[in-house]
Amino acid sequence: MARYKAIVEYDGTDFLGFQRQAAGRTVQAELEVALNRIGWSGKAVLGAGRTDTGVHASGQVIAFDLDWRHGEGNLLRAANANLPPDVAVKSVEACTPDFHPRFSARGRRYRYTIYNAPVRAPLVARYAWQVWPSTLNLESMQAASRQLLGQHDFAAFGADPEGGENTQRVVSLAEWSAPTTGTLLYFDIQANAFLYRMVRSLVGALKCVGTGELTVEVFGVILASRERSKCPPLAPPQGLSLIEVIY
């Protein structure tokens, strides 16, 4: 019996999130069904992050124990042969028995995509938040994002996923970019860990900075307030993707 680490990609549109639930389709359940078909008999696949309903991933990390004697390449092919089209295992490798995708992680990186244009784009609608009629001010959004760097109490932007009161997090990257014609805007953020719905809360507030509804200074006041009620509405889930888990 060996423990395997796998990187998983999925389109979260038709899932109720990663974590298995009593009812409804989840990524974890699909992975467990696929692994069951090739001999896995564990209780639960371990995951690095519990992405929400509609949230995507290109770098989700899972681990599972399996008695497999046919090589890692064949394991990759066998897993993918039993997965639905909206989930894929990108790589798989044997790891140490004590590896845990969540508790071994040193950080995570997410990307949020905004489509800032007046006409809908069917080819990006599942993966971006269309914001209009305002043309977003990327410079102001960038200035506000710089206030996120370092260690802060992010209680205004999320809740402790464990149900406790630990809302301190360390952000090492918070940056906007527009590498195309300016209609697609990307927000990349990396931290040692994230609060529940923290990224979507931040993007919702930063979008308000971009439209002029909030100033850069007021964004900083919201951050310092630790008051959830002061945060603007969440950004929708389809623009968010888990890009990488750092070990």
Catalytic residues: 52
Cβ atoms 95, 222 nearer than 8 A = no
Q: How far apart are CA 87 and CA 82, in angstroms?
A: 10
* H or E element at residue 206: helix 198-211
Pick from 121, 211, 116, 195: nearest CA to 158 = 195
Give DSSP secondary structure letters for 123-176.
Answer: TTTTT-EE--SSPP-HHHHHHHHHTTSEEEE-GGG-B-TTSSS--EEEEEEEEE
Cβ atoms 93, 4 nearer than 8 A = yes
Find tokens 């630990």 and name the residue: 166
Pick from 243, 198, 230: nearest CA to 219 = 230
Token readout for 156 is 């205004």
